[in-house]
Amino acid sequence: MNHNSRIAGFHRLTPEERLRAVRAFDGLSDDDIRQLRGGAGVLTVGRADKMIENVVGTYELPLGIATNFQVNGRDVLVPMVVEEPSIVAGASYAARLIRDGGGFAASADASLMIGQIQLTGIDDPARAIAAIAAARGEVLALANRQSSSLAALGGGALDLEFRQHDASPMGAMLVVHLIVDCRDAMGANAVNTMAEAVAPLLEQLSGGRAYLRILSNLSDRRLARVSARVPAAALARDGIAGADVVTAILWAHALAVVDPYRAATHNKGIMNGIDPVIVATGNDWRAIEAGAHAYAARGGRYTSLSHWERDAAGDLVGTLSMPLAVGVVGGATRVHPAAQAALKLLGVHHASELAEICVCAGLASNLAALRALATEGIQRGHMALHARQVALAAGAHGDEIDLVAAQLVAERLIKPTRAAEVLAELRVAV
């Protein structure tokens, strides 16, 4: 076993050679390797038919491995499922820069989720709050009777909070927040079951009528955070001094802080790193996206999720803190065979550990994008990979893909029509 995620030349290997390197990294079983390789029999139609409705088949995406990650001193290979070129390469590259600065330091909160119960038609909200608060123990006990497994694991409903809205399109309402520790699960099912179960009691206590009973995806009690340092010298590129790259990155960050138009793209670059890990591990990427963007707007104006600054030594320091409601048990994490293999490869046993790795991948992707934007621009690195996709779309097979792509890059003309011409010329020449 080799626990070094810095695998030199990984990108130059064939997929089978990469799988062997992955296996050597963590001693995965033959079966795990088969799941990661994908293809027939991994997610069978029969299994898929049990996951969602009206199934007619399955749909595959590339699974790549980001290298160079060192999280809290531990080397990690990060599985990423994504269709966009440059993301895996960018994350790996940024993770290497961060490795030079000592690696990622990450942490995650306890898995606290919020279930919302909306109460309407309440004449005296203060009295309703007092009545519910007085019965707090009874409400929590009722919630906890819905999930004995969560309670057995030391989690469960912990607290109640209140949010009063005096005006809305339908009038005043009181919202009760049920705070639930979901331990290693994402927790949507447990929280929704609890919210539905306690609603009649809350109606009785408040004299109001309950409408919505559902978890909130703004899981701001369940943040993951990371900080990382990149030596300025490591950022030097194409004759641009490292210190100048740091300055350019800080200007890019500054724009994302003040301008929502830029912040949306900046944060998309963060999610480029996070979503692929969420998908690879069978987690709910819509929940993560919803939580991230709501959190980015928590101050009343949508802004950057990450923060970048220069430290006293002139090096670049980045931090990212955001909601990360992920699970390592339950849902698709258990049902999708490749998700199980991905979790095994990551070596995570707790939701908090997965959240930590996700937030690291997010900061890495953000850094990769900012560094490219601050220097040669995003297109140069993108071009070679994009050219391969265009070559593929034009019908190139096997070795033809790289030959056509290389020609398109040389001509700086990444166009489907030109790809078709180059392919035709190549086939005539052979």
The residues annotated as belonging to the active site are 84, 268, 284, 382
**Cβ atoms of residues 358 and 271 within 8 Å:** no
Which residues are bridge partners to 323 per DSSP? Answer: 223
Tell me, residue by residue from 351 to 390, as one string, x for binding to ligand MEV by CB under 6 A and - for no binding: ------------------x---x----x------------
A 10 A CB-CB count for 30 gives 8
What gap in Å lies between CA 82 and CA 79, rounded to an integer?
A: 10
As a three-state string, the secondary structure of 357-416 is: HHHHHHHHHHHHHHHHHHCCCHHHHHHHHHHHHHHHHCCCCCHHHHHHHHHHHHHCCCCH
C-alpha to C-alpha distance for 353 and 356, rounded to whole angstroms = 5
Sites for ligand MEV among residues 273-312 (CB under 6 A) = none
Of the two residues 248 and 329, which places its CB atom closer to ligand MEV in the complex? 248
Rounded to the nearest whole angstrom, what is the least distance from the CB of residue 91 to ligand MEV in the complex? 12
Give the Cα-Cα-Cα angle 334, 357, 44 (nearest 5 degrees).
Answer: 25
CB of 414 to ligand MEV, least distance (A): 16
Q: Which CB atom, from 116 or from 265, has the smaller least distance to ligand MEV?
A: 265
One character per residue 76-115, x = contact with ligand MEV (rule: CB under 6 A): --------x-------------------------------
CB of 67 to ligand MEV, least distance (A): 20
The residue type of 96 is: R
Residue placing its CB nearer to ligand MEV in the complex, 385 or 403:
385
Both tokens assigned to 382: 């993108």
Q: In a 10 Å sphere around its CB, with 0-12 CB exposed, 13-18 middle and 19+ buried, how is residue 148 labelled?
A: exposed
Q: What are phi and psi of 59, to 5 degrees?
A: -135, 125
Can you tell me which residue has the tokens 């001094």? 241
Residue with smaller CB distance to ligand MEV, 222 or 266: 266
Q: Tell me the site size for ligand MEV, rule CB under 6 A.
A: 9
β-strands 63-71, 74-81 pairing: antiparallel
| Shortest Å, Cβ 159 to ligand MEV | 38
Q: Which helix (H) or strand (E) holds 75?
A: strand 74-81
Nearest to 116 by CA among 56, 163, 176, 61: 176
Q: Are 156 and 180 in contact (CB under 8 A)?
A: yes
Q: Which two tokens stand for residue 118?
A: 């909306």
Q: Which residue has the tokens 């003040």?
A: 258
Q: Are strands 223-230 and 173-181 parallel, antiparallel or unpaired?
A: unpaired
Q: For ligand MEV, which is the closer residue by CB, 276 or 327? A: 276
Going 25 to 28 to 30 to 34, the CA torsion angle's sign is: negative
CB of 47 to ligand MEV, least distance (A): 31
Taking the complex as a whole, the smallest distance from the CB of residue 416 to ligand MEV amounts, in Å, to 20
For ligand MEV, the closer CB: 178 or 367? 367
In the complex with ligand MEV, which residue's Cβ is closer, 227 or 265?
265
CB of 369 to ligand MEV, least distance (A): 4
Mapping DSSP to helix (H, G, I), strand (E, B) and coil, where does residue 35 land? Answer: helix
Which lies closer to ligand MEV via its Cβ, residue 153 or residue 378? Answer: 378
What residues from 234 to 273 belong to the interface with ligand MEV (CB under 6 A)? 265-266, 268-269, 272
Q: Name the site residues for ligand MEV (rule: CB under 6 A).
A: 84, 265-266, 268-269, 272, 369, 373, 378
